[in-house]
Structure 1
Amino acid sequence: MQHEVLEQLAAKVAEVEVVSFDVFDTLFVRPLCDPEDLFDVVGKRFDIAEFRSLRRAAQTKAFQTMHANGLKEITLDGIYESFGKLPVDPALPRQTEYDLELALTMPNPELVDWFVQLAGSRRVVITSDMYLPQAFFEDLFAKHGLPKLPLFISSARNATKRDAGELFDIVAVEIGVTPDRILHIGDNELSDIRRAAERGLATFHYVDSRRTRLPARVSTPAASIAYGLPRSFPEKIEPQSFEALGFEIGGPAAFAFLHWIRQSAERDAIDLVLFMSRDGYVLKRIEERGDGGEFPRCEYFRSSRTALTLAATNETNFESRLPFLLSGAEELSPFELLERIGVAPPDDQVMQDIGLGPEVRLSDANIELFRSFLWSWRWEILKTCRIVRAGLHNYLQELGVADGMRIAVVDVGWNGTTQEAFDLALQGLYDIELFGYYLCLTDQPECNRRKKTLRMASLLSSESVGRGKVDQVYMNRVAVELYFSAPHAAVIGYDFDTSGRVHSVEDVGRGNTEGLGATAEAILRGIERYSAYASRVYGSVGVDPVPLEVVKPLLDFARSPSPEVRKLLSTVTNFDAWASSRNRAMRLDEYLN
């Protein structure tokens, strides 16, 4: 919570003798978009398709019975007594609802520390309108180790805040102070603020900005939890930071992708999963924690499209590789063009003599000169390609790759170029069945061409989410790739040390890349924290984290990155090592649609 809000609260507390706290959406929160999403979990548990609407109808009937009997509040027992015929004993879903409420109701991280400190020095009470029994609140506070305080619960007192505010009168009488000496803190404008003020209490309207950002309605409990988790996360994450970005957007994306990979690997009877660097760095980390369930053997594959393309390049296909070598090279010098594939350039004087000194930059006007230069320098380039191919062979041996294996390579996307390069590089080395698992694949012609000959599958596709959403993700692909980065430079090839052991060669990029490692670490930290927390929460309530539901925060991000996110991303420069140049600085927000 913002410091100025705490100061306002402290000033209000100083003027009263007793502080009253509302419970739901104030002192406690649920990691859900809508509290009624919990009813869908109950319904699924008992295979009752329309349970949510049945539960609503039962609550309405309970209110009717309440009024007919001259009472002022409903109870959980009364709601379940109001159900019509159910395929199970109503006592079973009733207990399940109670247990789920207890599992999902968590201390509000914005208020709980201040609340505990306050309860140790001032008189504090709990005042809540709720049909759950008082025993629930006793269980809730005990579960989270919070102070045992006087409880004023509407279902136990037959009085409410919302209707006439009579529950506030009971509070004042029982604690023995006049209403004006009580401060009530709550989120509901009617029951917590207007009704309390009408009864003479001082009030503080608590507004949770995290709740206002939630979607009004989602289709499944899995999506509801994916969006709602940040509200209840008990640890501190600085708002509008890269760690927060990783937690709120990268976290759901990576968690969903990992579960989809596991399901795909099980379906395809995969022997070995290779998480491609750098895209697979965080996926391997959270897989090692067990956040994705039981996996086949997995390895972090220190490779890239660049390394694999070089490994598959030889004298016969070199000319066809020229478009790749020139791709994304606008404004690069000829020295930078070679640097990004790990090839030493000719002497400076030679480059000056052929009109390609360091001051020359690639453009449409001189692209043929650059092409001719690469062709004339092909034998040096091919030397590097042969070393890279030998290194790849040794590296795959170290990873335990063998003929006949079914291997899945994991990449973020977008058109299958890395998988195609790997498939070509494997020719003459290994006879394996290669699968490609992607976060997102496009409908571009080159991708569709590869799908005809390669085994390619993706979580996000036109078939799964629609062409429009795929296009949105692709247009903001550089920002999406940031969520799947790593705190090391891009791998561009392999070499051998003096003992003959293979090691990867990295491209640190050109221009100012200061802070990229720290940015990646912060995002990864946020993703890992989300994944660990999500794994606990989904497991505790027995909800399957359906990948296409959990990934939805990423789709929202791709549809319309917020001004705050754009501002944060504008501080990241030269993220794309392949296209980076000392001649310019590319801010990441410039890639956003």
Structure 2
Amino acid sequence: MPAPATEVMEQYGLGDDVLLSPALHARMHAFLLDYRFKILMVCRRNRRGLFNYMRELGLQRGARVALVDVGWHGTTQEAFETAVRPMTHLNVQGYYFCLVDSADTTRRRQSHAMQGLFSTKSVADSVVRRLYDSRVLVELFFTAPHNSIIGLDASPAGVRWLEDARFDSKGELAAAAASVAEGMQAYARDQVMARLANSAITDSKALPLERAWPLVDLLQRTRKPVSGTVAALKNFDSWGATRNKDALLQDALA
């Protein structure tokens, strides 16, 4: 959603030079209350886009849907099912790289089907904590090779994805993510071929966890400062980015 003009924000005492704090919550409340109709317009557009996108996919009532996410508490799944429920009933199963034993996770498990590759059901709690404490680095491996999707727009030609290109205008982050994804796929292919060639491997159920374990080993090593291209990556999380300050990856990993 485009921000109002600077002079409009200044009327609320929320100009570009203002740093938000709890003391300004009353101003923010007044602004959001007056701006609610613009916000609802975007919500309706996204809702219409989601409905049409499900139609394009051929999803019908009771369809089985797998929602795959890195983790950590099932927030995305809850948001998706909450948005879809008034439209139709889908049988959603969430698959996560790692699920943390938190109050939010426990609450969501009661009403949402959720499984984690790494969880206290499959590994020690210390392993889950190690992954969660290093979640910035872990999430970097799951960065999509495109800008963040911030909306859906339905048109006669089909549903169009709306991307947030504010923080990656040169495509540097998308290129880095594509390179990481290519390396991960190459590693997975090599591992599959190596295991298929080893007739001694009989427990196929253990393979997914074993394939992911090198990441756990990586996090166990003494952390070295990142350098080069990786250190220069900035604003890699557009949801938490601001134009007032560049967020460098090397600072997040410090």
Contact 1:511 1:583 (C-alpha < 8 Å) held by counterparts: no
Inter-CA distance 553–368: structure 2 relative to 1 (3 Å threshold): farther
**2:77 aligned with 1:437:** no
Residue equivalent to 2:186: 529
What does residue 472 of structure 1 align with? Answer: 130
| Cα distance, 1:509 vs structure 2 | 4.0
Say which of 388, 409, 431 aligns to 2:46.
388
Aligned residues: 249
Structure 1 counterpart of 2:227, from 567, 584, 589: 567
Question: Could you say which residue in structure 1 is the equivalent of 2:195?
Answer: 538
1:582 paired to 2:239: no
Alignment deviations for residues 145-171 of structure 1 (CA, whole Å, 9 cap, x no partner): xxxxxxxxxxxxxxxxxxxxxxxxxxx
Alpha-carbon spacing, 1:511–1:552, altered in 2? closer, same or farther (3 Å) = closer
Read off the aligned partner of 2:210 and give its amino acid letter: E
Query: Residue 437 of structure 1 contacts residue 457 of structure 1 at CA under 8 Å; is this kept in 2?
Result: yes
Kept in 2: contact 1:516–1:572 (CA 8 A): yes
- Which secondary structure state, in structure 2, belongs to the residue aligned with residue 431 of structure 1? coil
Match of 1:375 in 2: 33
Change beyond 3 A, Cα 1:525–1:561: farther
- Listed one character per residue, the Cα deviations across residues 197-224 of structure 1 (whole Å, up to 9, x for unaligned) are xxxxxxxxxxxxxxxxxxxxxxxxxxxx
Q: Within 5 A, what are the aligned runs for 1:177-326?
A: none
Q: Is the 8 A contact 1:483 1:523 kept in 2?
A: yes
User: Pairwise mapping of residues 131-142 of structure 1 onto structure 2 (< 5 A)?
Assistant: none
Is the 1:509–1:578 contact (alpha carbons within 8 Å) kept by the matching residues of 2? Answer: no
Matched-pair contact (CA < 8 Å) for 2:235–2:246? yes
1:527 maps to amino acid: M
Shift of 1:410: 0.5
Task: Please give the alpha-carbon distance, in whole angstroms, between the structure 2 residues aligned to 1:454 and 1:469.
Answer: 24
Contact 1:509/1:581 (8 A) holds in 2: no
Q: In 2, distance between residues paired with 1:448 and 1:383?
A: 34
Return the alpha-carbon distance in structure 2 between the equivalents of residues 513 and 557 of structure 1: 30
Per the alignment, residue 418 of structure 1 pairs with: 76
- TM-superposed CA distance for 1:480, in Å, is 0.8
CA distance in 2, matches of 1:561, 1:403: 50
Q: Is the 8 A contact 2:52 2:154 kept in 1?
A: no
Q: Please say if residues 408 and 437 of structure 1, whose CA atoms lie closer than 8 Å, have aligned partners that are also in contact.
A: yes
Pick one of 549, 555, 558 that aligns with 2:216. 555
Tell me which amino acid in the other structure corresponds to 2:214.
P
Partner residue in 2 for 1:490: 148
The one-letter code sitting in structure 1 at the alignment partner of 2:227 is K
| RMSD (CA atoms) | 2.1
Q: CA deviation at 1:562?
A: 3.0
State the Cα distance separating 1:407 from its structure 2 match.
Answer: 1.4
Q: Structure 1 residue 468: deviation in Å? A: 1.6
Aligned residue runs from structure 1 range 140-179, under 5 A = none
Distance 1:411 1:403 in 2: 23
Alignment match, 1:210:
none
Question: Structure 2 counterpart of 1:567, which letter?
Answer: S
**How far has the Cα of 1:460 moved from its partner?**
0.4
Q: Which residue of the partner structure matches residue 252 of structure 2?
A: 591
Aligned to 1:551, what secondary structure does the other structure show?
helix
Given that 2:231 and 2:249 are in contact with CA atoms closer than 8 Å, whether structure 1 keeps it comes out as yes
Residues 1:526 and 1:511: Cα distance change in structure 2 (over 3 Å) = closer
The answer to whether the Cα contact below 8 Å between 2:61 and 2:89 also exists between their aligned partners in 1 is yes
Give structure 1 stretches of 5+ with no counterpart. 1-342
**Offset of residue 591 of structure 1:** 2.6
Percent identity of equivalent pairs: 36
**Residue of structure 2 in register with 1:506 after alignment:** 163
Q: Report the CA distance between 1:482 and its aligned residue.
A: 1.1
Contact conserved, 2:93 with 2:113, CA < 8 A, in 1?
Answer: yes
**Post-superposition shift, 1:586?**
1.1
Counterpart position of 1:519:
176
Q: 1:491 to 1:365 in 2, by over 3 A?
A: same
TM-aligned CA deviation for residue 561 of structure 1: 5.7
Conserved 8 A contact 1:493-1:506: yes
What amino acid is aligned across from residue 190 of structure 2 in structure 1? Y
Worse-matched range after superposition: 554-563 or 438-447: 554-563
When Rg is computed on C-alpha atoms for both structures, the one with the higher figure is 1
TM-score by length of 2: 0.89
Cα distance in structure 2, aligned partners of 1:361 and 1:513: 28
SS for the counterpart of 2:68 is strand
Q: 1:510 to 1:356 in 2, by over 3 A?
A: farther
TM superposition score normalised by structure 1 = 0.40
Deviation at 1:567, TM superposition (A): 3.2
Distance 1:576 1:351 in 2: 25
Q: Distance in 2 between matches of 1:549 and 1:398?
A: 36
- Residues 560, 509 of structure 1: alpha-carbon distance in 2 compared, 3 angstrom cutoff: farther
* Higher relative contact order, structure no. (Cα contacts within 8 Å, ≥ 6 residues apart): 1
Q: Label 1:515 to 1:401 Cα distance change in 2 as closer, same or farther (>3 A).
A: same
Q: Is the 8 A contact 2:66 2:95 kept in 1?
A: yes
